[in-house]
Amino acid sequence: MSRDGERTDPGAGSVRKAPRLWAGRAATAAMVATVVLVVAGALLYDVVAVRAGQPARRWRAQVADELATRHLDDVWVLLGAGVSVLLGGWLLWLAITPGLRRWLVLRPYGGTDAAIERAGIGHLLADRAAGLRGIDHLRIRVGRRRVRVSVSGPVDPAVVQRQLREELGRVGLARPLRLDVRSWRGAAGGVADGAPDQPDDRAGEAAG
């Protein structure tokens, strides 16, 4: 309870920043682990067999001979090096990028982290706009930083923007989206306050 008699939220001062979502990359990790396990197992088996007095496997002798006799400008050597570079770059990109670009993080509540798909936000906004009169056609594109809404009909774009901004506020995103509502005649309905305008990435779309 505050001094002026108004009730205050006890957790208002302990709001923590929502963490960024990272993809598990389970399929990629399983594939790499399987390949490494098969190659390492085959090499280990052959080394143990040689130590036990048996001759080395033919494939191992051929690989050693090819590595010893082929020059660096050989086509197969260059091709193998190129494939290795591409594979290594792909694995490095998977390791340093978070993934899950279709999802937006919600504000943490009670120590629980959650996210919502961008297409789901588009459907929520489309349902909210469906209750407004004067909209002949509606197109909503939800990006990672901004929502673009195009409307046609006698409806006032400012009214649409006010209603959709209220709906966005109810979603509870950790990072509010910028809202841009425009009519198909080219008149801008205004842009909500927020982050600077940036290009959207693979925007999810919902049409109503």
147-173: pLDDT as tens digits: 999 888 888 888 888 888 888 888 888
95-129: pLDDT as tens digits: 777 777 788 888 777 777 788 888 888 898 988 88
Q: Which residue has the higher pLDDT, 33 or 14?
A: 33
- 104: CB partners within 8 A, 6+ apart: 115, 116, 117, 118, 121, 144, 173, 174, 175, 177
Residue 112 per-residue DSSP state: B
Percentage of residues of the chain with pLDDT beyond 70: 76
Give alpha helix (H) positions in 97-175: 118-130, 157-171
* pLDDT, mean over the chain: 75
pTM of the model: 0.52
Residue 57 per-residue DSSP state: P
39-56: pLDDT as tens digits: 888 888 888 888 888 887
d(CA 23, CA 175): 19
Q: Residue 70's pLDDT band (boundaries 50, 70, 90)?
A: confident
Residue 15 per-residue DSSP state: P
